[in-house]
Amino acid sequence: MSRRAAEAVFQGLFLLSDIRGILRETAPLHQLSAEQKANTAKSLEKLEKQISILREELVS
């Protein structure tokens, strides 16, 4: 059982949901404010971390 991998999947999906929220708030032009850009960048950074965990846990 890899609880770490399961949590990384959900953490990743949740981070993507936050980005989905930003897409909705900024539709249709998707011109993000400075704050929205910073939040999205932070989400992407965290998402990369979750992907690394999944690589470690499941495919390495």
11 Cβ contact partners less than 8 Å away, ≥ 6 residues apart: 46, 50
Q: To the nearest whole angstrom, how small is the minimum distance from the Cβ of residue 12 to another protein?
A: 10
Q: To the nearest whole angstrom, how small is the minimum distance from the Cβ of residue 26 to another protein?
A: 8
- Binders of another protein in range 17-56 (CB under 8 A): 17-18, 20-21, 23-29
Q: To the nearest whole angstrom, how small is the minimum distance from the Cβ of residue 13 to another protein?
A: 5
Give whole-number Cα distances, 44 to 6, 53, 59, 60, in Å: 19, 14, 21, 22
13 lies in the site for another protein, by CB under 8 A? yes
